[in-house]
Chain A
Amino acid sequence: MNRIPSKLIRAYWIAVAMLFAGASILTAKYTPNETSMGVVQKIFYLHLPVAINTFLACLVAFVASIAYLWQRSAWWDDLAAAAGRIAVQLCAVVLATGMIWGRSAWNVWWTWSPRLTFSLVLFFLYVVYLVIRSSIEGRERRAVIGSVYAIIAFLDVPLVWLSARLLPDYIHPGNVSLPELAMKITLAVWFAPVTLLTVGLIATRFDLNRAQSLAAISKAASRRPEIRSASAVKVPTILGPKAMGQTEGVL
């Protein structure tokens, strides 16, 4: 895989940070308050894009896990692990912002309503995914068990999505109406920085995972000459540590 120049990657991160700043200013200064909830409804502009990106990260882990079981390439396993890790991070943001929104809008931090419960289950499913991965020694065994687990864990995503629509929920709305055009524009704008950040986070985690995997292969090759040829692989870099201003080079 060809490397992306580190200058380009640094520019990517600066652009994402600037988009975040721009969306924040837009939300604070120019977006009108919603009539029934007031200013606390503005939490929604961060909450929804992060929730959608959590599902996307879970989907990447799901697809990469299927691809690993099909092709048995460590590349897919590293991608699934990266997406699973970022899914945990984003799901934590969804839960935290949702709890704060619930407290300010409905005076409750938490209720065991279907969507909230399935969201919490999703968070723990992917935490357990990381725990399982870190507790298995053999690389291939870890990849197979992790892949099977990630495929099963993904089944919770449609439950989270459909629960608010199909099951009665007294707190979490199935659909939040945005009566003014400025509100719709603000929500659309927020999708850009959050999605770009998610892509950057998954790519960086993936790059670190690849580097660790190839270092492990290299270490094993130094002990076993027959797999020495396998270590002569360039470390791919998408948006990795080099991206954030670090040294260049190959394994």
Chain B
Amino acid sequence: MNGYVIAAYAIGFALMWGYAGLMWLEGRAACRNANSRGNAGGRP
């Protein structure tokens, strides 16, 4: 497989799935903050 093709797919996957990962971390941090404030529900 050509290097350009691999680079295009790698960048595309990284931008899309990377953002999904960032949102997962954001949601987890929000839940953790809510829990530390005593919110039993775990939602911010």
Contacts and interface: CB of A to CB of B under 8 A. Distances in A.
> Could you tell me the dominant secondary structure of chain B's interface residues?
helix
B16 A250 contact: no
B23 A246 contact: no
Interface in B1-44: 1-2, 4-5, 7-9, 11-13, 15-17, 19-20, 23-24, 26-28, 30-31, 35, 39-44
A235 B43 contact: yes
Interface of B: 1-2, 4-5, 7-9, 11-13, 15-17, 19-20, 23-24, 26-28, 30-31, 35, 39-44
Interface in A149-208: 197, 200-201, 204-205, 207-208
> Could you tell me the dominant secondary structure of chain A's interface residues?
helix
Contacts of B4: 40, 43, 100-101, 103-104
Given A100-B7, A249-B41, A93 B2 contact: no
A40 B9 contact: no
B19 to A, nearest CB: 5
Contact of B35 (A42, A200, A247): A247
Contact of B12 (A28, A50, A241, A248): A50
B15 A241 contact: no
Given A208-B26, A235-B43, A247-B31, A39 B19 contact: no
A248 B1 CA distance: 44
Contacts of A89: 15-16, 19
11 contacts: A20-B13, A38-B2, A40-B4, A89-B16, A101-B4, A101-B8, A200-B20, A201-B19, A241-B28, A247-B43, A251-B44
